Amino acid sequence: MAKKYLNYINGEWKPASSGEWSENRNPAHWNEVVGLFPKSGSAEINEAVAAARVAFKEWRLVPAPERGNLMKKVGDLMVERKEDLARDMTREMGKVMAETRGDVQEGIDTAFYAATEGRRLFSNTSPSELRNKVNLSFRMPIGVAGLITPWNFPMAIPCWKSLPALLCGNCIILKPATDTPLTTQHLVEIFAEAGFPKGVVNLVHGGGSAVGNALVEHPGVDIISFTGSSEIGKQINAKAGASLKRVSLELGGKNAQIVMDDADLALALDGVLWGAFGTTGQRCTATSRLIVHKAVYDQFTEMLIEAVSKLKVGDGLDPASNVGPVVNQSQIDTVKSYVEIGKAEGARLVVGGHQLDKGTYKEGFFFAPTVFTDVTPKMRLFQEEIFGPVLSVTKVKDFDEAITVHNDCIYGLSSSIYTKDVNRAFRAARDLEAGITYINAATIGAECHMPFGGVKQTGNGHREGGWAVYEFYSEYKTVYIDFAGKLQRAQIDNY
């Protein structure tokens, strides 16, 4: 019998009142049950919100540098357990160990950044228009944050959301993806060990419709941060907007790498292999479109096909694997359906395009890294997010067309251009409609201390990461101090 894990509410580990459990399985060996997790619902959310509201009264008064000291402990514990955390993450979501180590490292980096932010959390002072008066502003905590996280970065993304929220003085309720509850469980065990006061950190396992909805609709929750699909993001925004919650959304992407005629092709090839097939293409930042200048199109696609057919697909725990499994059956179905759509639209399938189901592949959800060429901007293959190991290649005649074609898309998270021409590089940085642009690097590889997020339908304008996320998790209090000892009327007495 697999181990049963528990919710964490008000400093106590407890099962859900439903008495039901859901299985967390290994996508590389589907018959391996990694753990059983409570199927919670609104009862657990009500309890967690009540606990968080009480805890907030005290937590908001803890000095930010002291809160930062707890973040430092969280980071230190993650460093000690990095290898075990990475292994469990590979077991529950499949990506190769080099990448799950990277995912944990991104959490560690975020913790250490948060620790130091406790001694900054800068706000502004500004001169008053009146004499003998000063104007100050402070960053205040907001209240209770509901954090709804995806399965593709089970440590980094919960850390991106929870650590800045806590550092700013909010209490949190984490709802991890049902495909990857174990990594977040480990993170919350670390929070508990680091010594956060009870009720400050809460963890409620369960599905989006039961637990996620209850969080989004609860009047005691002030903030919602969600990473996932644009479709669900829109529903969350509408529901949370009804009670004027502050909402941060990181949604779909259809990121492109552009390869110009003057690019270092070997470098561009390394970039696209990493960008398109790292994490089996299951990143918000994954390279899903490749836009290539006609002068190098034939040569580059040939190099690409050869390299992609050599990628080794397998269990992420096997150091020989380059590409792990797809996370579950429903993602495999989506990937397969896009392969059919691509063929029907007239794109040319040049490598992959099928599920791998012989030998040990039978035990999990493996899909051959797939490339379509002759893809045009009108095709669904070019426009829609797939979230799997499928790359579309499009030919363009020049730089201007590359930019136009890139921007012909409802999403705008990450982008990349390979060129040696500094003028083109800076024009691309200005004109590519995306929250992130890489010059001579892949579309993936964001660092935790820089703003992360996208434009257009990738989000609602907020950013995770860096100093920008601290804006989201705090609000300003403006304070005027008048030491004139007599009534001074702004806008009147001084004019």
Instruction: Provide the binding-site residues for ligand UN1, judged by CB under 6 A.
Output: 106, 152-153, 283-285, 444-446
Q: Which is nearer to ligand UN1, 52 or 413 (CB)?
A: 413
Give the distance, in angstroms, between the CA of residue 175 and the centroid of all CA atoms in the same chain: 14
Contact of 116 with 69, CB cutoff 8 Å: no
Task: Note the residue count of the chain.
Answer: 495
Taking the C-alpha atoms of residue 253 and residue 406, their distance in angstroms, rounded to an integer, is: 12
Distance CA 237, CA 223 (A): 11
The burial class, CB within 10 Å (0-12 / 13-18 / 19+), for 349 is middle
Our CB check for ligand UN1 shows the closer of 7 and 183 to be: 183
* C-beta closer to ligand UN1: residue 285 or 301: 285
In the block, which residue shows the tokens 């969280």?
A: 74
Q: How far is the CB of 408 from ligand UN1 (least distance, A)?
A: 22
- Whether 250 is a known active-site residue: answer yes
Q: Which residues pair with 225 in a beta bridge?
A: 147, 248
Which H or E element spans position 7?
strand 7-9
The yes-or-no answer on residue 168 being catalytic is: no
Pick the closer one to ligand UN1 by CB: 40 or 184: 184
455: exposed, middle or buried (Cβ count in 10 Å: 0-12, 13-18, 19+) = middle
Residue 335 and residue 129: Cα distance in Å, rounded? Answer: 61
Considering the complex, state which of residue 44 and residue 109 has its C-beta at the smaller distance from ligand UN1. Answer: 109
Task: Compute the least distance from the CB of residue 179 to ligand UN1, in Å.
Answer: 14
Residue among 284, 385, 409, 464 flagged as catalytic: 284
**Smallest distance from ligand UN1 to CB 448, Å:** 8
Taking the C-alpha atoms of residue 154 and residue 23, their distance in angstroms, rounded to an integer, is 17
DSSP assignments along 296-338, one per residue: HHHHHHHHHHHHHHTPPB--TTSTT-SB---SSHHHHHHHHHH
CB of 454 to ligand UN1, least distance (A): 10
Closest CA to 94 of 275, 308, 323: 323
Say how many C-beta atoms besides its own lie within 10 A of residue 359's C-beta: 7
**DSSP type of residue 262:** T
Q: In the complex, what is the shortest distance from the CB of residue 344 to ligand UN1, in angstroms, rounded to a whole number?
A: 29
Q: How many CB atoms lie within 10 A of CB 380?
A: 15
**What is the bridge-based pairing of β-strands 436-439 and 414-418?**
parallel
Residue closer to ligand UN1 by CB (options 370, 414) is 414
CA-angle at 122, arms to 55 and 444, nearest 5°:
90
Taking the least distance from each CB to ligand UN1, the nearer of 88 and 99 is: 99
The residue among 253 and 342 lying less far from ligand UN1, judged by its C-beta, is 253
How would you classify residue 83: left for phi > 0, otherwise alpha for psi between -120 and 50, otherwise beta?
Answer: alpha
106, 250, 385, 464: which one is catalytic? 250
DSSP H helices in 142-256: 156-167, 181-194, 213-217, 230-241
**In the complex, what is the shortest distance from the CB of residue 61 to ligand UN1, in angstroms, rounded to a whole number?**
34
As measured in angstroms, the least distance from the Cβ of 142 to ligand UN1 is: 24
Least separation in angstroms between residue 175's CB and ligand UN1 is 17
Name residue 73's amino acid.
K
Strands 171-175 vs 133-141: parallel, antiparallel or unpaired: unpaired
DSSP letter assigned to residue 360? G
CB of 93 to ligand UN1, least distance (A): 12
Question: Contact 160/464 with Cβ under 8 angstroms?
Answer: yes
**How many CB atoms are located within 10 Å of the residue 487 CB?**
7
- Give the nearer residue to ligand UN1 in terms of CB position, either 65 or 445: 445
Which sequence positions are flagged as catalytic?
Answer: 250, 284
